[in-house]
């Protein structure tokens, strides 16, 4: 019989297992609350830096003049409109496969921000297109597919609001998101698959950027700002959803949080 010792050190939990526990809405709620101020502050700093570099430091374009500066917002918004939809679709898949409540909540929380960036993409594109193409709107392949993305966002939001049954709304919304994923590669590759007025990608993973380095810097700063903003706003919304759907869990965590503080 093995000798029993008086002290048995606990086995450390695996990092993945420790992070997985935050899939529980009651545990994720206080974590989100701690992250929101830092994400919002970082978003403001990156946005200020990006706008300063893009509007003040970057030189005037030799062909388009000053109007090209719209691209620092337009391109960053376009990237985020597609990225957030893919993130929502990933949460939708996780929710359907593992039936995780937090996945469905994150899916819902990201939708208004994704719709906002899609609208901003179309609006800034129109402002850029008028002096460049001579028209506010053309039925260009990329513009049309981006408009379809906006309809997908708005359709998802409307579907969530159409019923008071959260479980049914979550599953139907997740199916809609997964069905609409096919539109994202169409947006990205549309300028390669069809002859369009829209210019090709200025930044590629396989080739050097076709614009000045200072312009690329401004664009990447704005992408970081929009990403941080999206994270902060989504966490704020998901906290509201947790409080709405599971108020008992939030109230139960409040005394423990005050005691720890």
The torsion region of residue 99 among left (phi > 0), alpha (psi -120 to 50) and beta comes to: left
Helices 141-161, 183-193: axis angle to 10 degrees equals 170
Phi, psi of 65 (to 5 degrees): 75, -145
Confidence (pTM)? 0.85
Residue 83 in 3-state DSSP?
A: helix
Q: What is the pLDDT of residues 225-240, one digit of tens each?
A: 999 999 999 999 999 9
Q: Look at residue 210 in the predicted model and tell me its pLDDT.
A: 58
Q: Look at residue 206 in the predicted model and tell me its pLDDT.
A: 44
Q: What is the pLDDT of residues 101-158, one digit of tens each?
A: 999 999 999 999 999 999 999 999 888 878 877 777 888 888 899 999 999 999 999 9
Chain center to CA of 101: 19
Q: Is the pLDDT of residue 6 over 60?
A: no
Please give the Cα distance from 115 to 21 (Å, whole number).
30
Helices 247-260, 25-52: axis angle to 10 degrees equals 80
Structure tokens at 167: 């479980």
Structure tokens at 128: 């850029």
Phi, psi of 142 (to 5 degrees): -75, -40
Q: Are 49 and 58 in contact (CB under 8 A)?
A: no
């Amino acid at each position: 019989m093995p000798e029993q010792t008086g002290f048995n050190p606990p086995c450390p939990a695996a990092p993945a297992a420790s992070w997985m526990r935050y899939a529980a809405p009651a545990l994720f709620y206080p974590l989100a609350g701690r992250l929101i101020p830092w994400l919002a502050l970082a978003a403001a700093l990156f946005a200020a830096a990006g706008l300063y570099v893009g509007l003040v430091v970057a030189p005037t374009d030799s062909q388009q003049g000053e109007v090209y500066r719209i691209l620092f917002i337009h391109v960053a918004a376009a990237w985020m409109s597609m990225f957030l939809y893919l993130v929502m679709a990933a949460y939708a898949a996780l929710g359907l496969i593992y039936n995780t409540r937090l996945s469905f909540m994150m899916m819902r929380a990201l939708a208004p921000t994704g719709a906002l960036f899609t609208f901003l993409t179309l609006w800034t594109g129109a402002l850029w297109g008028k002096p460049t193409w001579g028209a506010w709107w053309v039925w260009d392949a990329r513009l049309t597919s981006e408009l379809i993305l906006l309809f997908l966002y708005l359709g998802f939001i409307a579907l969530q609001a159409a019923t008071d049954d959260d479980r049914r709304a979550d599953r139907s919304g997740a199916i809609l998101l997964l069905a609409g994923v096919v539109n994202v590669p169409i947006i990205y590759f549309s300028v390669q698959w069809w002859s369009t007025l829209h210019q090709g990608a200025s930044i590629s993973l396989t080739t050097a950027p076709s614009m000045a380095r200072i312009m690329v810097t401004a664009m990447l700063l704005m992408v970081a700002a929009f990403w941080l903003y999206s994270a902060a706003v989504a966490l704020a919304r998901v906290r509201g959803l947790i409080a709405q759907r599971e108020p008992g869990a939030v109230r139960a965590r409040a005394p423990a949080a005050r005691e720890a503080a």
